[in-house]
Amino acid sequence: MRIAILSDIHGNLEALNAVLVAAERLGADQIFSLGDIVGYGPDPGACVALVRRTATVSLLGNHDAAVTGVAPIDDFNDFARWAVEWTVSVLTPEDRAYLASLPYTFSGHGFLAVHASPLEPGSWHYVHGLADAPEHFERFRERICLWATPTAPSLSLCRRVEGCSLGEDGAPAGGAPVPGECRERRSAARQRPACRLRPV
């Protein structure tokens, strides 16, 4: 099975459509969204509708949680706070109810998927590098953990398990969108699973 994994769409319908076209071209059987369908971009409702139609799995991100009142916006910067308030004003009650229904995590197909990290997923802790990795990696038993942020696709290895940060599709904090493709493969050198990210 081939799974296309999206994250941080942030109301950017143009980027979402482009990534879905690429996923279809690459033969994706399923679409997973790792959260933050809304926030910043001008088309939050259209993005929610498209993710609802196309995603097999959809997780709650901190911006999704903020527009539903599930998470506070105290830690958001002024622009992010304004974006949340505007997004609330344009989403339908049905859109907000859908976002509020999303889970924090998904476990299946041999991996765990989260928005921020496996460490208290609803508290929005982030893995900023290898120095942060051990406490996060102790929190899951699956062999692979996929998370949406930080912004650059990366691979962290710890205790013979793996974590892939997949970058952001709609509104990456670090610049241009960096969609990635994550596939399990065998490393000839180590004869152990590795996660390879390839721009699409």
Q: Is the pLDDT of residue 85 over 80?
A: yes
Reference 75, options 114, 126, 33, 115; nearest CA is 126
- Which phi and psi angles does 198 have, rounded to 5°? -130, 125
Do the strands 161-165 and 144-147 form a parallel or antiparallel pair, or are they unpaired?
A: parallel
Q: Is the pLDDT of residue 197 over 60?
A: no
* CB atoms inside a 10 Å sphere around CB 199: 10
Tokens encoding 10: 């942030």
- Which phi and psi angles does 119 have, rounded to 5°? -85, 105
pTM: predicted TM-score of the whole model, two decimal places: 0.78
According to the model, what pLDDT value does residue 169 have?
A: 57
Banded pLDDT at 127 (limits 50, 70, 90)? confident
Tokens encoding 122: 């609803």
**Is residue 109 within 8 Å of 103, Cβ to Cβ?**
no
In angstroms, rounded to a whole number, what is the distance separating the alpha carbons of residues 174 and 157?
A: 23
Banded pLDDT at 87 (limits 50, 70, 90)? very high
Report the CATH superfamily, name and number, of domain 3-199. Metallo-dependent phosphatases (3.60.21.10)
Reference 59, options 79, 31, 87, 81; nearest CA is 31
Banded pLDDT at 155 (limits 50, 70, 90)? very low
Banded pLDDT at 164 (limits 50, 70, 90)? low
Q: Is the pLDDT of residue 45 over 50?
A: yes
